[in-house]
Amino acid sequence: MPLSPRQTHLLDLIEQPADLRALSRGSLAALADEMRHALLEQVEATGGHLAANLGVVELTLALHRVFDTPHDRLVWDVGHQTYLHKMLTGRRGWMSRLRQHGGPAGFTRRVESEYDPFGAGHSSTSISAALGMALAAERKGEDRQAIAIIGDGAMTAGQAFEALNHAGDRQANLLVILNDNEMSISANVGALNQHLTRLRSNPLIERFRHSGEEMLAQAGPLGELLGSTRAGLRDGMRHLLGASSLFEELGFRYFGPIDGHDLDTLLDTLSNLREQRGPRLLHVVTQKGRGLAPAERDPVGFHGVARNGVSRAMAPSADKPATPAGPPTWTEVAATRLEHHAAKDERVVAITPAMIEGSGLKGFADRFPERLYDVGIAEQHAVTLAGGLATEGMRPVVAIYSTFLQRAWDQVIHDIALQNLPVTFLVDRAGLVGPDGPTHAGSFDLALATSVPNLAIAAPADARDLDAAIDWALAHDGPCLVRYPRDKCPAELGGHALAEGITAPTLLRRSAAKAPRRVLVIGVGAMVERLIPICETLDATLVNLRWARPLAIEPLAELAAEHDAVVTVEEGARIGGVGSELLLALAERGVSRPGLRLGIEDRFIEHGSREECLADTGLDSGSIAASIAAFIGNLCMNR
């Protein structure tokens, strides 16, 4: 059922937020309606993060109406909920290419607009960044508001607390808007979430506060005198009722909770807060998916949707196309193997930093709910928690995206590897992810991991390798990282082992070429599949490395010695990656050969489809074949 197009008379008038401020207040509800519909049409065409955006229509409108953006700084956390913000800040015409190559990013970016004062993608950075802006304004003597808009999910991260702690102590001029929709990607978790629930559902406090304020208003001059201590009285009441907010304890003035879909309340409250200074936190209650019934019912399913996802959701079930069958994803294969082990071994527990669905842990959660720890958006804690569990004989598995593991490398090194603890890391989204772009690319895990002692690193090329790697990791008495991309997983690529032992590389084909054309290609992980036809065409020998550590250097050196040159191909940073390590290790064994290292170039790769991103850095099949062919051509010329 296609979405019916809707007129957008008011939205068409808005080029910049100043145009929004010129509209009558009475027309804003109609504008919010138009914005919500424009959002649905846009996400229908491009796909993207729908539910969070539906929840902030009124909040976005109210913020740009009340504050003097871009002079006042709006810092959105994560940035996945900024589609309306982009529409109101001069990017509406461009949104039809959202998250596509050359189009706007799915998150805020400084290079895109002066209305994006800070780039994001990873969560829980907004309070720190806005605090930096507030302190800079203080130093420069500038009068501006710095506003962090952070979700209840993002608020669960350590960094958010670190920033609150600092801001409250400094009494910085900072406004934090806590957008509480009771959801992270899945239902929000943790004691903070329970605290927010108590704040949301304590009508006694609200009644007490309102009646207290009414009494003060009726008491004339005495009331005015007392009014100056109104905030103190209110805080006192909260303490008496045992309902003081955590934020007040940290030095913030707490306002709310208010209904984030009630425009009048939002506009009045924000206007009041605009006139105040110091650390303030406004608790806004919103509904994820607001205004689209299927998304309100299933905010998890509508967190991110594919192109045509809106009309598909609204279609009667009989009209819904069946999901096409095909190979499973790497995520699915890994999750199935993990469940297989959990069924046999009570010691196996899984940890996720707020990514149950994306990491494929829904099945594990259903089957072994008491053995799944969703720790919130707390990657560092997830890793050290696994360390603690491992010291007591458990077999913890941290399921984590490569990009989010970046937060926790100190924990991997200091808490896990240094103590040689048996923790398995299932590192998903390793390599280029596509539409989420550089903030979410898993470019660095290999380069970071290869230098960490004790850490075994598997880069499986097919489902058979992946299963074997998980089996090995769970039996191994030390840490192990298993990495795989956001893609379909081939079942079995074949080949035979180059040596004894589970971590040995496999040989997939042997070149029949004559010197100087005998080239050994060593593929890392998911790159191997696309190397098979390339090596056939170029008549190169092909090895599936399988394990980046321990590196099976002896059999590889023997094989390399029979060749004229070595090529390595990995979906990870080329500098400091497996290829660099391999060529050096071969040279140290006296097998110095001309080498070509293919990997992610030394720059950030822009968003696009996964294939476009790979092509951008020379890792699509055509570019790989061309690079190897040119390399062989040079070998012949230089002979």
Ligand X SMILES: Cc1ncc(C[n+]2csc(CCOP(=O)(O)OP(=O)(O)O)c2C)c(N)n1
Q: Which residues are catalytic?
A: 288, 379, 407
Q: Which CB, 181 or 403, lies closer to Mg ion?
A: 181
> From Mg ion, ligand DXP, ligand X, none, which one binds at residue 52 (CB under 5 to 8 Å depending on kind)?
ligand X
**What strands lie across the sheet with 547-549, from one edge to the other?**
372-374, 348-352, 395-401, 424-428, 480-483, 456-458, 547-549
> From Mg ion, ligand DXP, ligand X, none, which one binds at residue 436 (CB under 5 to 8 Å depending on kind)?
ligand DXP
Q: Which CB, 78 or 426, lies closer to Mg ion?
A: 78
597 interacts with ligand DXP by CB under 6 A: no
Least CB distance to ligand DXP at residue 434 (A): 8
Least CB distance to ligand X at residue 461 (A): 27
Q: How are beta strands 456-458 and 496-497 bridged, if at all? A: unpaired
Interface map 177-216 toward Mg ion (x if CB under 5 A): ----x-x---------------------------------
Distances (CA, A) of 556 to 244, 359, 449, 585: 64, 33, 21, 10
If DSSP codes are grouped into helix, strand and coil, which group holds residue 314? helix
Q: Give the count of beta carbons closer than 10 Å to the beta carbon of residue 394.
A: 18
Was 151 annotated as part of a binding site? no
Both ends of the chain: CA-CA distance in Å?
64
Q: Is residue 77 a contact partner of residue 36, using CB atoms and an 8 Å limit?
A: no
304 interacts with ligand DXP by CB under 6 A: yes
Choose, by CB under 6 A, the member of 436, 570, 571, 612 that binds ligand DXP.
436
Beta-ladder partners of 565: 519
Least CB distance to Mg ion at residue 215 (A): 36
Least CB distance to ligand X at residue 505 (A): 33
> From Mg ion, ligand X, ligand DXP, none, which one binds at residue 108 (CB under 5 to 8 Å depending on kind)?
none
525 interacts with ligand DXP by CB under 6 A: no
If DSSP codes are grouped into helix, strand and coil, which group holds residue 572? strand
Task: Summarize as ranges the residues that interact with ligand X (CB under 6 A).
Answer: 52, 78, 80-81, 122-123, 151-154, 181, 183-185, 288, 354, 377, 404, 407
> From Mg ion, ligand X, ligand DXP, none, which one binds at residue 245 (CB under 5 to 8 Å depending on kind)?
none
153 interacts with Mg ion by CB under 5 A: yes
Q: How are beta strands 496-497 and 506-509 bridged, if at all? A: antiparallel
If DSSP codes are grouped into helix, strand and coil, which group holds residue 254? strand
Q: Is residue 13 a contact partner of residue 19, using CB atoms and an 8 Å limit?
A: yes
Q: Is residue 277 a contact partner of residue 173, using CB atoms and an 8 Å limit?
A: yes
Q: Measured between alpha carbons, how far is 117 from 82 in angstroms, rounded to an integer?
A: 13
Distances (CA, A) of 449 to 350, 408, 423, 545, 578: 21, 12, 14, 16, 10
Q: Which CB, 436 or 462, lies closer to ligand X?
A: 436
Q: Which CB, 59 or 78, lies closer to ligand DXP?
A: 78
Q: Which CB, 103 or 256, lies closer to ligand DXP?
A: 103
> From ligand X, ligand DXP, Mg ion, none, which one binds at residue 304 (CB under 5 to 8 Å depending on kind)?
ligand DXP
Was 206 annotated as part of a binding site? no
Q: Give the count of beta carbons closer than 10 Å to the beta carbon of residue 269.
A: 18
Q: Measured between alpha carbons, how far is 46 from 290 in angstroms, rounded to an integer?
A: 19
Least CB distance to ligand DXP at residue 97 (A): 18
Q: How are beta strands 506-509 and 456-458 bridged, if at all? A: unpaired
Q: Which CB, 49 or 574, lies closer to ligand X?
A: 49
What is the per-residue DSSP string for 269-296?
Answer: HHHHHHT--S-EEEEEE--TTTT-HHHH
151 interacts with Mg ion by CB under 5 A: yes
Beta-ladder partners of 401: 428
> From ligand DXP, Mg ion, ligand X, none, which one binds at residue 354 (CB under 5 to 8 Å depending on kind)?
ligand X
300 interacts with ligand DXP by CB under 6 A: no
Q: Which CB, 436 or 564, lies closer to ligand DXP?
A: 436
Was 379 annotated as part of a binding site? yes
Q: Which CB, 486 or 574, lies closer to ligand DXP?
A: 486
Nearest residue to ligand DXP on Cβ basis: 358
Choose, by CB under 6 A, the member of 55, 104, 132, 358 that binds ligand DXP.
358
Q: Measured between alpha carbons, how far is 187 from 356 in angstroms, rounded to an integer?
A: 10
In terms of residues, how long is the chain? 639
Was 261 annotated as part of a binding site? no
Distances (CA, A) of 167 to 69, 76, 114, 501: 22, 17, 25, 55
78 interacts with ligand DXP by CB under 6 A: yes
Least CB distance to ligand X at residue 440 (A): 8
Size of the site for ligand DXP (CB under 6 A): 11
Task: Please choose, out of 30-38, 151-159, 293-301, 428-436, the segment that lies near ligand DXP by the rule CB under 6 A.
Answer: 428-436
Least CB distance to Mg ion at residue 357 (A): 15
Phi–psi pair at 312, nearest 5 degrees: -65, -40
Interacting positions 137-196 with ligand DXP (CB under 6 A): 185
Q: Is residue 505 a contact partner of residue 543, using CB atoms and an 8 Å limit?
A: yes
Task: Please choose, out of 284-292, 319-327, 429-437, 500-508, the segment that lies near ligand DXP by the rule CB under 6 A.
Answer: 429-437
Q: Which CB, 350 or 498, lies closer to ligand DXP?
A: 350
Q: Is residue 525 a contact partner of residue 481, using CB atoms and an 8 Å limit?
A: no
Was 152 annotated as part of a binding site? yes
Nearest residue to Mg ion on Cβ basis: 151
Helices (H) and strands (E) in the chain, counts: 27, 18
Was 121 annotated as part of a binding site? yes
If DSSP codes are grouped into helix, strand and coil, which group holds residue 69? coil
**Residue bearing tokens 């808009």:** 149
Least CB distance to ligand X at residue 283 (A): 13
Was 420 annotated as part of a binding site? no
Q: How are beta strands 174-180 and 146-151 bridged, if at all? A: parallel
Structure tokens at 572: 């990870």
486 interacts with ligand DXP by CB under 6 A: yes
Q: Measured between alpha carbons, how far is 247 from 198 in angstroms, rounded to an integer?
A: 13
Distances (CA, A) of 619 to 530, 536, 544, 547: 10, 17, 16, 20
> From ligand DXP, Mg ion, ligand X, none, which one binds at residue 154 (CB under 5 to 8 Å depending on kind)?
ligand X
Least CB distance to ligand X at residue 185 (A): 5
152 interacts with Mg ion by CB under 5 A: yes
Q: Is 22 exposed, middle or buried (0-12, 13-18, 19+ CB in 10 A)?
A: exposed
429 interacts with ligand DXP by CB under 6 A: yes
Which contiguous run of DSSP H or E holds residue 175? strand 174-180
433 interacts with ligand DXP by CB under 6 A: yes
Least CB distance to Mg ion at residue 261 (A): 15
CA dihedral 131, 132, 138, 139 (to 10 degrees): 160
Residue ranges that bind Mg ion, judged by CB under 5 A: 151-153, 181, 183
- Interface residues with ligand DXP (CB under 6 A)? 49, 78, 80, 185, 303-304, 358, 429, 433, 436, 486
Annotated binding-site positions for Mg(2+):
152, 181
